[in-house]
Amino acid sequence: MDWGLQNRLARIIRPATGRTVMLAVDHGYFLGPTSRLEDPRETIAPLVSYADALMPTRGVLRTSVDPKTQTPIVLRVSGGTSIIGPSLADEEITTTFEEAIRMNVSAVALSIFVGTEYEHQTLMNLADLVNEGETYGIPVLAVTAVGKELGKRDARFLSLSCRIAAELGAHFVKTYYCEDFEKVVGGCPVPVVIAGGPKLDTMKDVLQLTHDAISRGAVGVDMGRNIWQSDHPVAAIQAVRAIVHEKYTVKKALDLFEGLKGKRK
Ligand code: 5RP
């Protein structure tokens, strides 16, 4: 791996722990003004300094993120679909590498849709992005997307998707936590982070998900809704961090959350 690429990846996956807490705020690219992300600036501002990396689109980065931020950016560069359109899988690359470099990003991210009619198109998007990423020393994060088919989130499907992403050269992969998650990680030769998915019922569930994923081999989370849809997002991200970076148990992290949530929204 080229020096620049390794250096950028080390900004995201912290060398001190080998782990990362990424904050996903890219949902609007197909969902529009998602609940509690209606005003991205307001959502992002109190949280960004607690994240090891922020994952927006270029539109949200330019309009809603302070350019003085020290948090590395993982730029979402795929899209072109919407939740009311015919298929969420029909994505293309929306943002050039020149743009990504201009915005000083630490990595770019795209979705792949294995098993759909757009499998070939989205896998070639990944291959093309990796070719460019290798040219410019910018890592590529492949997101193993399932669109509206949340039931697809099992070890068989996610192992297949993650492995294909790694084989095509993705430098790290984002997927979902599932039963037998160690099989997903075991078959994927690059680091794996998990998405949080739709909001869970309790903070304990979020912390348990985080703990299970880390203890079964994930290097971290790229979490969105389960942080910023919380009534106490700043406390939530700190509790997640404590598990990811400081090996907190679920109970200890929940105690931390309860203690912090009274202090600040
Ligand atoms: C959509 C994405 C989102 O960033 C992702 O799903 C992470 O957010 P959440 O934790 O809310 O699921 O990549 O394809």
Query: DSSP secondary-structure letter at 152?
Result: G
Which value, to the nearest 10 degrees, does the dihedral of the CA atoms of residues 226, 19, 106, 49 take?
Answer: 60
Amino acid at 110: L
Ligand 1 geometric centre to CA of 83 (Å): 14
What is the rounded average pLDDT of the residues 218-236? Answer: 98
pLDDT digits (tens, 9 = 90+) for 102-138: 999 999 999 999 999 999 999 999 999 999 999 999 9
What is the rounded average pLDDT of the residues 68-72? Answer: 98
Ligand 1 geometric centre to CA of 223 (Å): 6
Q: 3-state SS of the chain: helix, strand, coil percent to 5?
A: 45, 15, 40
Which residue is closest in CA terms to ligand 1's atom 5? Answer: 195
Atom of ligand 1 nearest to the CA of 223: 10
Residues designated as active site: 174
Atom of ligand 1 nearest to the CA of 196: 10
Q: What is the pLDDT of residue 147?
A: 72
Whole-model pTM above 0.95?
yes
CB burial of residue 169 (10 Å; 0-12, 13-18, 19+): middle
Query: DSSP secondary-structure letter at 14?
Result: B
Count how many Cα atoms sit within 13 Å of the Cα of residue 251 in the half-sphere of its side chain: 0
Q: How confident is the model at residue 186 (pLDDT cuts 50, 70, 90)?
A: very high
Q: How confident is the model at residue 152 (pLDDT cuts 50, 70, 90)?
A: confident
3-state secondary structure of 6: helix
Domains of the chain: 3-197 (3.20.20.70)
